[in-house]
Structure 1
């Protein structure tokens, strides 16, 4: 007999209880889930259509032929997750600044040059879109080409600047984001700050590391609650649906593999170069 039993303690194994939701509650949950999925699907369709309009088909074809976007770790999936994060950060920057302008919230110490408004949304999102699409390209090239930055900058210039897809100012920002990533100078360009925070979130989900809000640059980036949510959402959405829709709109099959979710999930903790 154990000491606890000698002292009069008695342990009883709890009975297994099967929890069953009432039929009415179950139907309501199913209806809400179905409605939510329809909203998400419609948002994915609209998102893909917007990006398809911004990306010339010839440029999209060139990207797919130059880089292996089917790569699970350094392909379109990474671009898609980064762009989703950038868009969330941009939304908060714009909505906060609009509220400041209207007097709905108190003034903040943010220099005017770093403030974005609704009128800036499309132009800024286009720049972020190109950053996210181009960012994975140099990763493998660094291993085989010592002049990666110089050679790829020439390619990017050929694809975007010479074809007048973007202007010189936008191109310089895109190149800085692609090659410097989160190492750009903080609080000098809000677009680069947005991209830097998105990169930190994306990297942290694979490293399982806690991000210090003090190193983040944007309002959303400094929010510890959203940092946790951003990492969780990225893990749960390793392959954003709009990627496949965009691929279909552009008539390609080598941008994203819609059936490789299981493979991506298996590699979620091994974000290496494949």
Structure 2
């Protein structure tokens, strides 16, 4: 078994520490107040800043970047941080945009390995995402999640879902993966311009997915701090109150800015 320390910095940004490794997901460190364009006439304002500034994060071995083209997953300060990172794992199109020899691009189903002396190797497999309604991928762009496996895991892989709606390929992947711990991107993202269309999972989707895979621990992320999030912590908490405790007890709220240990 491995004890992993998760520090939620805000939005999708989490520092993951174990066995000498320090990994960072989707770095977002800009201050609040600015509006960002998301393409095709959509935009959103950042409402809250990070719980920790980038200078307080310390050294990072690798960044796991689900996608580079939306500022709620990679903002200006996060992009600047990438220049000091030895390894960035992201989408194939993101790797082309970011450039450089330190960036590894993966499509869903492809894997890459992190290795370092005296540490367990980590296999990173990209998992599928659809960041919007059917046929939206040419507009919303390429996104992936990440499944992490390493020797000594007791409860199954660690899965970072990435920004996605709940759809058939995601269900199939989750059922095959059977993750023990999930960093679950939520928020029920919507934009006024596109009406009822959603771009990330809702609280109901979270419960539906977890009913299929029965993970040991589910940590919601990517649900607060921006105008385009439609479902925050209160909504998910209200949904959990309506389901049996056995289904709801897996959900763990990571405190912002403070490391939280979880056995993986």
Larger radius of gyration: 1
- TM-score, normalization by structure 1: 0.27
More strand by share: 2
Give me the TM-score of the superposition, normalised by structure 2: 0.27
More helix as a share of residues: 1
Higher relative contact order (CA 8 A, sep 6+): 1
